[in-house]
A and B are shown apart, each in its own frame.
Chain A
Amino acid sequence: MVDSRALEAEIPRLRRYARALLGDRSAADDLVQDTLERAWARSSQWRSGSDLRAWLFGIMHNLRVDQLRRAAIPVQPIEEGAHDVPVRATQSDRLEMLDLDVALNRLPEEQREIMLLVALEDMSYSDVATLLQLPVGTVMSRLARGRERLRQILAGKPGDSVTHLRVVK
């Protein structure tokens, strides 16, 4: 059985990752809510002593994959976006942050998710590979492509020229 307090302790990290991945507060919290509901529904499947965080992130990833599959039917809840009032602070670092937010959302999700798991969760490549059920090589090449693309967007080069995994001497 999943321990309530252990679960509660993971929620902020799930929210942080979901917010970064989806770029929208209410959509992110909806995803976290779905994750927690599914975690409880499947709590008998969780083996005590195993990595609760990895299990929860796995559930969230699978739910997100389901969402994207269903995305052929566009659904925009009425209130969605109504409270997304852009706020620009005066400090330049805040401006850069907002730029980063916008730039991040221009990356393909398959690259963004890996960059975020590595940057926010400090996950190892092999943990990311396990979580996303991908070969480690795929994780690394997507990470490299995502980082380079983000760098170019931030540098004002919106083109899609991307450094591919390559051998440099």
Chain B
Amino acid sequence: MSPRTQITESDLHAYVDGELPKADHERVERFLRRHPGDADRMREYAAQKRALKALFDPVLEEPLPENLRRLTSPPNPESPQGIAAGWRAMSGSRRRYEWWQRIAAAVLVAAIGGATGWFARDRYAPTPSLAAVVPLPRQAAVAHAVYSPDVRRPVEVRGDQEEQLVTWLSKRIGAQVKAPKLGGLGYELVGGRLLPGNAAPVAQFMYQDATGQRLTLYVSTENVTNRETAFRFAQEGKVNVFYWVDGKFGYALSATIGKDELGRVASAVYDQLERQ
């Protein structure tokens, strides 16, 4: 091979960035001496590099904000405070909520608070099913109302990591769950998140169709009465909910779509979960 004699624009940048092989330095320097315009240009590029560093290096010295400091250790630690930590993470340093999300979250808190008071007053009565404290369809509808319109962060773990998502949620709610496949009905898994239930964590899977219409499947393991129910339908504001109980699992499928369509999806979900 004959030695390269041409100097390319890339050679000049590589020279500026210290990426040019030593053997080529002399050739480039000779070229730049003969082409003062290019030499000036390269000096400006080098100055750009220095200026960019000078402009942004101060960021290195800024103290870490709390939301980033928190993430220097794994999120959702498996500790007795895990649920509380999860709740704090969600409501506390979490990012900007839209006004309606704040209201929906407040409704959720109020519902839990009210239910706790009711529960305490009746402490001499036989222990009721915990799932009855806040009815399953209401829990599911509120969770749907809070998270489904969230464009920026609808889920904690995305559906493209489905295996990890299912493993994580199963571990945290203490029972094997699975995300039904609804692609045949036009709904793809967006992902899932962990939420506080009445007394234990619950899982929420979110799906979306091509138009952006979302539905959520809420999976609770708080049913202690070990009974089964047929499909039931509830309407919570604009949110339609189909729900059913299967052993300790309570399932609720929520969306702001028509009852018939939601019913078709609910049947598919039910069939898949039955077969597992």
> B-contacting residues of A (Cβ < 8 Å)?
4-5, 7-8, 11-13, 15-17, 19-20, 29-30, 32-33, 36-37, 40-43, 70, 73, 75, 77-80, 96-97, 100-101, 104, 115-116, 118-120, 124-125, 137, 140-141, 143-144, 147-148, 150-151, 163-169
Residue-wise, chain B 1-26 has the 8 Å CB interface mask toward A (1 for contact) of 00000111110011001010000000
Q: List residues of chain A with CB within 8 A of the CB of B35.
A: 168
Q: Could you tell me if B68 and A119 are in contact, using CB atoms closer than 8 angstroms?
A: no
Interface centre among B31, B38, B52, B62, by most chain A C-beta atoms within 10 angstroms, is B52
Q: How many residue pairs bridge A and B at CB < 8 Å?
A: 131
Chain B residues near A29: list those with CB within 8 A: 65, 67-68
Distance of B127 from chain A, by nearest CB (Å): 37
Asked whether any CB of chain A lies closer than 8 Å to the CB of B27, the reply is: no
CB distance from B48 to the nearest CB of A (A): 6
Given contacts A11-B64, A120-B52, could you give 8 more A-B pairs where the C-beta distance is less than 8 Å? A16-B56, A32-B68, A33-B71, A36-B71, A70-B151, A78-B96, A168-B9, A168-B35
Band of interface residues on B: 35 or more
Chain B residues contacting A36 (CB-CB under 8 Å) are 68, 71-72
Whole-angstrom distance from the CB of B198 to the nearest CB of chain A?
A: 27
- Asked if residues A150 and B48 are in contact (CB atoms below 8 Å), the reply is yes
- Interface SS of chain B: helix, strand, loop or mixed? helix
A169 CA / B38 CA spacing, docked (Å):
12
Picked from B9, B52, B98, the residue with its CB within 8 Å of the CB of A116 is B52
A selection of 23 A-B contacts at a CB cut-off of 8 Å is: A12-B62, A12-B64, A15-B68, A20-B55, A29-B65, A29-B67, A33-B67, A33-B68, A36-B71, A40-B71, A41-B157, A41-B161, A41-B164, A42-B161, A96-B51, A118-B49, A119-B48, A124-B19, A137-B10, A147-B13, A151-B48, A165-B9, A168-B9
Q: CA–CA, A100 to B152, complex, Å?
A: 30
With A168-B8, A168-B9 in contact, do A15 and B52 touch (Cβ < 8 Å)? no
